[in-house]
Structures are given as structure tokens and as C-alpha cells.
A and B are shown apart, each in its own frame.
Chain A
Amino acid sequence: MSLYILLIFINLPFIFLAITGIITRYKMKRISRRRASIQLLIWLFILMGLIVARPLYYWLFAQELTASDALSLFDVVQITAIVFLLYIVNGLSTRIEQTEKRLNDLHQALSIRLSSKK
């Protein structure tokens, strides 16, 4: 199997999970339409990048715009690690933001409630 095909297959689950996560969060009104659109665009861009990696490399090579070696197994592992980290970071940042807001709201409500009991 070509390493380029392997690259797409290994990364596809993360991209699929990220895109379904964005759609779910948007439908459940946890993120705004704007934020969902931007995140979707980023993941679609990554997917496109992986799909066109092989033709792009050969085209650049033919045009003598690159002299680098073709994709190695190490490159596949490295790119997959980057995509995986992006997936994790994106999910974590959304969760941290939601938790921060809930904590602030809780602190505020608790302070007001305790003051009224004095």
C-alpha cells in the first residue's frame, strides 16, 4: 500500500471524529455558527491537504520546486501525531472554555446566594 494512502487512512478517523464533534456541538448550541464554520474549514483543509499530498509532491518535483524525498513511514507517523494533537487540543480548548464559564457562573451565583442568607 502506498504511504500516501496509508496517511489518509490513518488520519481519516480523527478528521471524521473532529467534524462530527463540531456538527454535534453546533447543533446542541454549545458553539456559535461562526466558530463551527471556521473549525469545519480548518479540518476540511487538513483533509484536502492529505488527499492532494501525493499529486502535489509529484507536481512540485516535476517543476523542480522541491528536491526532497518522497513520503517516508516516519513522515506518516509524524503527520498523524500532529493531526491527533490538533484534534485533542481543539476538543480541550472548547471544554476548558465551557468549564471556565460554568465555574464563573457558579462562583457568582454562590456568592450572591450566600450573601442573601446572612
Chain B
Amino acid sequence: MRDSKKRVCVVIPAYKEAAVIYDVLTRTKKALAKDKKHSYEIVVVNDGSTDNTSSEAARAGVTVIDHILNSGAGGATATGLSYAQQYGFDVAATMDADGQHKPEDVITGVHTLCGSDVDLLIGSRLIDSQGMSRVKVLGNKGLSVVTYLLFGINSTDSQSGLRIYSKNALAQLEWKSRGYEFCSEMLWRAKKIGLKIDEFPIEAIYTDYSKGKGQSNWNALNIVRTLMARRISEIFR
């Protein structure tokens, strides 16, 4: 991809994040404005939250897409990326709404992707897992092993929410999972359609809030179960 000025759409799927989303968005806006090389638009996909997530996001002055029904993280991400594709963005990025991702890492990722021929760039929290609890490291590594066993994708952090997408990836990537298992399925679909995938190290910020919002081990088990069902059903497709 040529390294000229790009329009970047930063998609933030959000569900019941009213407590922190305003701060996350103002911090992200401020950080992204420092990058003069590319122009950024932040799009929050409010996934049918029953709290004030939508109004808090609107107060921060970003584009807000309200899901009428709660569709899950996979559905909200798909809507955001579909928006980016429809409005002709050159690059898209996804990041979490709980504030665990540094906006500076989005900028680094966008620059890395624009200077390479990569289509999907994963921000890996596990290349340097400092600050992450042992349980989380184990859970995330476990899910990466499951992703490798089921789909043959070798990723150090298959569940990372910080990802950068090229225009090519935006046009071609589709997945069926609606929940958190979409993270692994997306990598599989990307591999199947021949997209070039790479990783870059990112730093995750764990506050009491983001720790509380994080995925439980039961959810990890549910992700494994759903991924296995998806893999088996795809044999017949």
C-alpha cells in the first residue's frame, strides 16, 4: 500500500460503556489529531446498550451508529467496517471501548499497514504481556492455540480487538459469528481469501474498570465451543 495520506475509520464497538466511553473517545480524538499524516474519523457502534453509551459517545462529537438490537461484538464490528467500506475509507481500525487500547498504537498500526502490503494487522498484547494477569495470559494463549488447531492460524493474540484493515480487507472480509468468537473466525476467513496477515506489539492498559468488563473464563470456554461448532458445520458448506 502506498504511504500517501489516507482516510482512516476507527471503529469502536460499544456495549454498556457509558461510564468510560466519553473519556476514552476524547483521549482517542486528541491522540489521533496529532497524526497529521492521515485523517481519522471515529465511529462508535452502540450495540443496543440500555444505558447512556450512545448519548455519551455523541457528546464526544464522534459518529454514532445505534444498533436496534444487541448483536454481539462480531455484529457490531461488522456494522462499523461495513460503514467504513460504504463511505470509501482507505483504512479501518477497530479498538475496544473500555479504554484498554492506546490510541497511539492505532496510529502505529495504521502507519505500519500503509507502509506494507499487509491487509490485516493484529495488535498483539502478548508479544509483550507486561501488565496482563497470568489468568488472562493463559486464557488468551489458550484461545490462540485453539485457533491454530481449528483453523491453522498462527497468531500470538487471536482475540485482540485492536486490528487494522486495508481497503482490500474491508471489501472482502465477512464472517458469520456474532459473538467474541468472530476474532478467530475473522482470521480464518482472511486466510481463506488470501489476505496477508501480520502482527505488531501493542500495550494494553488494565484499569479496574476494564478488568471488570473483561471476558470470564466461562466465556472463553463458550468461545471454544462455538468455534468448534462453526468449524464442524463449515465442513458441510
> Which A residues form the contact surface with B (CB < 8 A)?
31-32, 34-35, 38-39, 101, 104, 107-112, 114-115, 118
Q: List 27 A-B contacts (CB under 8 A).
A: A31-B237, A32-B237, A34-B237, A35-B236, A35-B237, A38-B236, A104-B71, A104-B75, A104-B78, A104-B178, A107-B68, A107-B69, A107-B71, A107-B75, A108-B78, A108-B79, A109-B82, A111-B45, A111-B66, A111-B79, A112-B65, A112-B82, A112-B86, A115-B65, A115-B66, A115-B83, A118-B64
A32–B82 Cα gap in the complex (Å)? 24
Interface flags, B162-199, vs A, CB<8A=1, else 0: 00000000000000101000000000000000000000
C-alpha spacing A115/B65, complex, angstroms: 5
In the bound complex, CA of A97 to CA of B161 (Å): 27
Q: Closest approach, in angstroms, between the C-beta of B64 and any C-beta of chain A?
A: 6
Complex alpha-carbon distance, A34 and B234, angstroms: 10
Provide the residues of chain A in CB contact with B68, threshold 8 Å: 107, 110-111
Q: Does B207 contact A (CB under 8 A)?
A: no
- Overall SS of chain B's interface: mixed
Q: Is the CB of B79 within 8 A of A112?
A: yes
Contact indicator A107/B236 (Cβ below 8 Å): no
The number of A-B residue pairs with CB atoms under 8 Å apart is 42
Does B222 reach chain A (CB closer than 8 Å)? no
Task: For the A-B complex with A107-B68, A107-B69 known, give 18 more contacts whose Cβ atoms are closer than 8 Å.
Answer: A32-B237, A38-B236, A39-B236, A101-B176, A104-B71, A104-B78, A104-B178, A107-B75, A108-B78, A111-B66, A111-B68, A112-B79, A112-B82, A112-B86, A115-B65, A115-B66, A115-B83, A118-B64
Contact A107 B67, beta carbon cutoff 8 Å? yes
Closest to A109 in B: B82
**B237 and A111 contacting across the interface, CB-CB below 8 Å:** no
Q: What residues of chain A lie closer than 8 Å to B66, measured between beta carbons?
A: 111, 114-115
Chain B positions within 8 Å of A, measured between CB atoms, are 45, 63-69, 71, 75, 78-79, 82-83, 86, 176, 178, 236-237
Which chain B positions have C-beta within 8 A of A115? 63-66, 83
Closest residue on chain A to residue B58 by CB atoms: A118
- In whole Å, how far is B140's beta carbon from the nearest beta carbon of chain A? 27
For the complex of A and B, the 6 pairs showing the least CB-CB separation, nearest first, are A115-B65, A108-B79, A35-B237, A111-B65, A38-B236, A112-B83
Measured between beta carbons, the chain B residues less than 8 angstroms from A118 are: 64
Measured between beta carbons, the chain A residues less than 8 angstroms from B64 are 115, 118
Q: CB-CB < 8 A to B65: which residues of A?
A: 111-112, 115
Q: Which residue of B lies closest to A37 (CB)?
A: B236
Q: Which residue of A lies closest to B47 (CB)?
A: A111
Measured CA separation A34–B235 after assembly (Å): 9
Q: How far is the CB of B39 from chain A (nearest CB, A)?
A: 19
State the CA gap A35–B69 with chains docked (Å): 31
